[in-house]
Amino acid sequence: MRWLCSLLVSGAATAGAAGVAAQSSPVQHLQFDVAAIPATRDSFVFLLRGEPRGFAVWQYEIRSVEMGQDVVFTARSEFRPAEEERLRVVLNRVTGEPVASFHHIDLFAPGSDTVMVEHDLDVRRGVVVGRRRVRTRHGTLHVIPVRVRLPVGAVWSDYGLLAAPVANASPGDSLVTAAYSEFGDSLTTLRLVAEPADSVTVPAGHFATVPLRGADFRLYVTRTHPWRVVKGESLDHRFDFELAGTGPVLRSGGL
């Protein structure tokens, strides 16, 4: 869901939207309770103006590593007819720190020469290292090395997709944290505002949620275990995705 990733972190527009909300509520540090994420595999229907246009599958896998445990978040989505993507994000389950991020998107956009974008990144001693690849319609492949030091406490911008484990969201709260834009190769700010509790009905059922709003998107997150995102939408109501069902976790994030 490249459209959602692009909405999660933006510049001045996001800061302006959060600033309005902050007038009525002090800004707080956005915290993710990664250790509370359960092993889960969810499927979503992807809608454009209310019409089905594709799907998304999200999986959270808990994996033992030498120094403890990681959470491996994998996602695959297809937005017909223009886009397919694969995403794999690894987080330290104890500290919540980013460990690795891989994101591959094949796309067709009229007027654009780009047909593929990808990043493959690791965090080593607080430094993001890896590469970014871009392929054009004419077959040219650009490979861009990446090496950026993360500020203490910074997260991947894709943590916005992991909004379910936001640990400190109460209605009216304005939440902020430093983030690294994986495709933009820049440090930025992830901002969310917790809106009044709301109940939503999706193909998978009826859920009590707390909506979390960014500059251009809203995610509906359950507030009882297991925490999960059950719906997402752009604020202009053109795009949305809804939880359709839950299945068994596949080892190694097989999607």
**Are the C-beta atoms of 183 and 160 separated by less than 8 Å?**
no
Q: What percent of the chain has pLDDT over 90?
A: 36
User: pTM of the predicted model, to two decimals?
Assistant: 0.83
pLDDT digits (tens, 9 = 90+) for 25-76: 678 888 888 888 888 899 999 888 888 888 889 999 999 988 889 999 998 8
Within a domain: residue 90?
yes
CA-derived radius of gyration, the chain = 18
| Count of domains forming the chain | 1
Evaluate whether 184 touches 216 at the Cβ level (below 8 Å): no
For 198-253, how does the pLDDT look when each residue is reduced to its tens digit (9 = 90+)? 999 999 999 999 898 887 889 898 877 777 889 999 898 888 999 999 988 887 64
Strands of the chain, DSSP E: 27-29, 40-48, 51-65, 68-79, 83-92, 98-107, 114-124, 127-136, 141-149, 155-156, 174-181, 186-194, 198-202, 205-213, 217-222, 229-234, 239-247
Strand partners, 160: none
Length of the chain: 255
Cβ-contact 255, 57 below 8 angstroms: yes
* pLDDT over threshold 50, residue 11: no
Tell me, yes or no, whether 254 lies in a domain: no
In a domain, 163, yes or no: yes
Tens digits of residue pLDDT in 135-163: 999 899 999 999 999 998 888 887 666 66
Domain membership flag for residue 175: yes
In a domain? residue 253 = no
At residue 98, what is the residue type? Answer: P
Token pair recorded at residue 82: 């223009």
Does residue 197 lie in a domain region?
Answer: yes
As to burial, measured by CB atoms within 10 angstroms (0-12 exposed, 13-18 middle, 19+ buried), residue 12 is exposed
Residue 255 lies in a domain: no
Q: Give the domain range for residue 10.
A: 2-248
